[in-house]
Structure 1
Amino acid sequence: MKHLGRCVELATMAIKGGNPPFGSVLVDEHGAVRYEGHNETAGGDATRHPEFEIARWAAANMTPDERAAATVYTSGEHCPMCAAAHGWVGLGRIVYASSSEQLSTWLDEMHATPPPVATLPINEVVPGVPTEGPFPALADAVRDLHRQFRSQHRSSGRA
């Protein structure tokens, strides 16, 4: 829960920078945080998701065995792009606070434009990767962050 809580903090930081609320942490098999980040898509590069950045960092800085033993904690279940990157570099378990299904429901409730890529469960993209989530207490906090982000962008004309 400590690492998922940090992911929610990072998602909050993302909003402050004008980015959608997603935050992620890479933890090695010994429990050490190796990388953390949040969405950085506000500059126009829609691939700047923290899970994608984690996969790229891990490929450059960890051995295949270290990657397989690591866990990625994230505020929201990986999108298909990030799930594929996770699978391609051979990262281990994924633990998420909120699911893709929840995100789709929330976006519908907020009358938000859906993402350009389908919101699929991780295991539809990367069969067999161990996953755990969602966690209801944190999912509520993530939902609130999405509402805050959408509200800010509606008032700025960018929603």
Structure 2
Amino acid sequence: MGRIVYACSSQQLNEWSYAFDWPESPIEPLPIQAIIRHVEVDGPAESLIEEVKQMHIENFQRKNT
């Protein structure tokens, strides 16, 4: 497997969920390094954090209105 690149972490999503009082995810928030070893990992992409956060907010609002 090659390099893994991600925009935001499950930890960040959990922090946003807690801050906005969203329901807890049924998925265990594991860092990618706990899933796969010996690969190059780049992330989170600091320049995309606010954009990704806004996408999660809009998705949650769309599902719950």
TM-score of the aligned structures, taking structure 2 as reference length:
0.86
Amino acid at match of 2:36: V
The reply on whether 1:119 has 2:32 as its aligned counterpart is: no
Q: Which residue of 2 aligns with 1:143?
A: 53
Aligned to 2:6, the other structure's residue is in SS state strand
Which structure 1 residue ranges, 5 or more long, are not aligned? 1-90
Q: Which residue of 2 aligns with 1:105?
A: 15
Structure 2 counterparts to residues 62-73 of structure 1, below 5 A: none
Structure number with greater Rg is: 1
Q: Give the percent of matched residue pairs that are identical in Structure 1 and Structure 2.
A: 32
TM-score of the aligned structures, taking structure 1 as reference length:
0.39
Amino acid at match of 2:23: T
Give the paired residue count: 65
The reply on whether 1:96 has 2:3 as its aligned counterpart is: no
Rounded to whole Å, the distance in 2 between the matches of 1:100 and 1:129 is 18
Q: Which residue of 2 aligns with 1:129?
A: 39
Which structure 2 residue ranges, 5 or more long, are not aligned? none
Amino acid at match of 1:111: D
Q: Give the superposition deviation at 1:125.
A: 1.3
Rounded to whole Å, the distance in 2 between the matches of 1:135 and 1:103 is 14
Aligned to 1:97, the other structure's residue is in SS state coil
Q: Give the superposition deviation at 1:114.
A: 2.0
Rounded to whole Å, the distance in 1 between the matches of 2:4 and 2:50 is 19
- Counting strand residues as a fraction of each chain, which structure ranks higher? 1
Deviations 1:116-139 (A, max 9, x none): 121110001112221001112201
Deviations 1:41-99 (A, max 9, x none): xxxxxxxxxxxxxxxxxxxxxxxxxxxxxxxxxxxxxxxxxxxxxxxxxx211111111
